[in-house]
């Protein structure tokens, strides 16, 4: 399986470490480098087999290359996975993250990390006790903090632009279904509500749904629910060969990474008249946050301008009406990487 995964991947390098004491596989996928470095988040998760964790690291690292290019950041794309037997807490978590920080440090800047699923700014603080190659530590520790609020703002602007293009109107009265009320989705839902949208929400965590105070859709019924915008903000891969035929929306635009189970589904969405906001464009607010504030010396107003710019970038991609916007997005990435 490792051979099949690695020969089918167009990235540069993978670093692997197995920690016996924690029964944890650490995979760092460096898809591309720019000035000898790459960046992207660390995902901590329980996988049924370690190769599933490696597959995630490889696929997500390729998306990071695209995000870095879209954001015009001179860094390549990387992604790491900590495939744990169960999510560690307390002292064990600290010790595991220290060991992981030493692993990152051993790569001498080839890869810098940031938070991703199941890793937080506090975890970045812990990793930062062992290596300097960490973005988004807490503000108290000199970092820029969580990416989620700015990711949500970027997705909000992306939805606004997508609705403008597909429906020729602003958000007032537009029905948006937000799937996943985590760090990004909960903020997004409230921003959309404040802008006058009719927001429906769904989460497998009933407490999060109740806390939102917004009308709920059963998690199993999300795909077939009629709405103007379906905003996937939970897991990736929700659009499959089956679900693409069941969608009853005009726009797919959300925060999740790798929303399409396979790339060809972008064309099928286009054939069905559903506008798809390429995920690595609309959800790149987190990259703008980390790199803008920590690498480029931006202040918050400059960052806010860049987040609004994600909407403009999408409108430019949508100008090529005859095909899925994914093709224009790929062309944009290729142009920027060639510079
Ligand atoms: P999170 O872990 O805080 O929230 C995810 C939410 O989805 C949780 O509330 C969870 O209960 C819910 N969920 C899980 N399975 C579900 C299902 N089947 N149906 C409905 N809800 C379900 O994650 P987040 O930071 O809010 O990120 C959301 C998505 O956006 C993830 O896919 C993440 O990779 C992506 N993303 C996040 C950022 C960021 O800055 N946080 C940046 C880019 C992309």
Q: To the nearest 10°, report the CA torsion of 123, 183, 313, 239.
A: 110
**For the segment 101-113, what is each residue's pLDDT rounded down to a tens digit?**
999 999 999 999 9
Structure tokens at 318: 């949508």
Residue 69 lies in a domain: no
Residue 35 lies in a domain: yes
Instruction: Assess whether 29 and 108 both reside in one domain.
Output: yes
- pLDDT at position 60 is 94
Looking at 109, 140, 171, the residue that finishes a domain is 140
Query: Domains in the chain: how many in total?
Result: 2
Instruction: Assess whether 242 and 135 both reside in one domain.
Output: no
**Pair 202, 177: CB distance under 8 Å:** yes
Which atom of ligand 1 is the closest one to the Cα of 146? 40
Active site residue 79: yes
Residue 68 lies in a domain: no
CATH number for 120: 3.40.50.10860
Residues with CB under 6 A from ligand 1: 117, 147-148, 151, 179-185, 202-205, 208, 219, 233-236, 255-257, 283, 286
Low-confidence spans in the chain with pLDDT less than 50: none
Domain that holds residue 153: 148-338
CA distances from 116 to 96, 233, 245, 256, 257 (A): 16, 13, 30, 11, 11
pTM of this structure: 0.95
Instruction: Assess whether 122 and 168 both reside in one domain.
Output: no
Distance CA 32, CA 187 (A): 32
Q: Which residues neighbour 80 within 8 Å (Cβ) at sequence distance 6 or greater? A: 26, 27, 28, 29, 40, 41, 42, 43, 57, 104, 111, 113
Other C-beta atoms within 10 Å of 72: how many? 12
Instruction: Assess whether 155 and 54 both reside in one domain.
Output: no
- pLDDT at position 133 is 98
Residue 172 lies in a domain: yes
- pLDDT at position 8 is 87
Instruction: Assess whether 207 and 81 both reside in one domain.
Output: no
Beta bridge partners of 172: none
Looking at 118, 140, 162, the residue that finishes a domain is 140
Closest CA to 315 of 281, 338, 266, 274: 281
**Pair 252, 239: CB distance under 8 Å:** yes
Closest CA to 233 of 170, 279, 198, 291: 279
Residue 67 lies in a domain: no
185 is in an annotated binding site: yes
Of 59, 79, 137, 141, catalytic: 79
CATH number for 186: 3.40.50.720
Which atom of ligand 1 is the closest one to the Cα of 255? 30
Residue 283 lies in a domain: yes
Mean residue pLDDT of the chain comes to 96
Instruction: Assess whether 38 and 159 both reside in one domain.
Output: no
Residue 158 lies in a domain: yes
- pLDDT at position 2 is 81
CA distances from 56 to 6, 45, 94, 258 (A): 12, 10, 23, 10
Which atom of ligand 1 is the closest one to the Cα of 208? 9
**For the segment 281-326, what is each residue's pLDDT rounded down to a tens digit?**
999 999 999 999 999 999 999 999 999 999 999 999 999 889 999 9
Structure tokens at 234: 């939970």
């Amino acid at each position: 399986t490792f051979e099949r995964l690695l020969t089918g991947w167009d990235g540069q390098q993978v670093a692997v470490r197995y920690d016996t004491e924690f029964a944890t596989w650490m995979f760092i996928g460096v898809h591309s480098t720019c000035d000898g470095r790459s960046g992207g988040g660390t995902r901590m998760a329980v996988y049924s087999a370690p190769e599933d964790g490696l597959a995630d690291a490889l696929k997500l690292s390729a998306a990071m290359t695209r995000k870095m290019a879209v954001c015009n950041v001179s860094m390549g794309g990387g992604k790491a996975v900590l495939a744990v037997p169960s999510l560690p807490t307390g002292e064990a978590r600290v010790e595991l993250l220290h060991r992981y920080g030493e692993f990152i440090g051993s790569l001498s800047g080839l890869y810098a990390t940031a938070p991703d699923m199941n890793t937080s700014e506090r975890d970045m603080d812990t990793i930062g006790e062992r290596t300097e190659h960490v973005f988004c530590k807490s503000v108290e520790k000199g970092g820029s903090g969580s990416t989620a609020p700015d990711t949500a703002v970027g997705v909000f602007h992306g939805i606004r632009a997508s609705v403008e293009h597909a429906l020729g109107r602003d958000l007032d009265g537009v029905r948006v279904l937000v799937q996943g009320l985590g760090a990004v989705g909960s903020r997004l839902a409230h921003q959309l509500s404040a802008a006058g949208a009719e927001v429906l929400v769904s989460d497998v965590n009933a407490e999060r749904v109740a806390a939102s105070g917004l009308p709920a859709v059963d998690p199993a019924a999300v795909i077939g629910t009629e709405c103007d915008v379906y905003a996937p903000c939970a897991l990736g891969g929700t659009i499959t060969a089956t679900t693409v035929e069941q969608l009853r929306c005009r726009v797919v635009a959300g925060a999740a990474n790798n929303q399409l189970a396979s790339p060809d589904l972008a064309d099928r969405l286009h054939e069905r008249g559903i506008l798809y906001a390429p995920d690595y464009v609309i959800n790149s607010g987190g990259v703008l946050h980390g790199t803008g504030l920590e690498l480029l010396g931006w202040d918050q107003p400059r960052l806010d301008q860049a987040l609004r710019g994600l909407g403009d970038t999408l409108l430019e991609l949508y100008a090529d009406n005859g095909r899925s916007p994914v093709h224009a997005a790929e062309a944009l990435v290729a142009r920027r990487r060639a510079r």
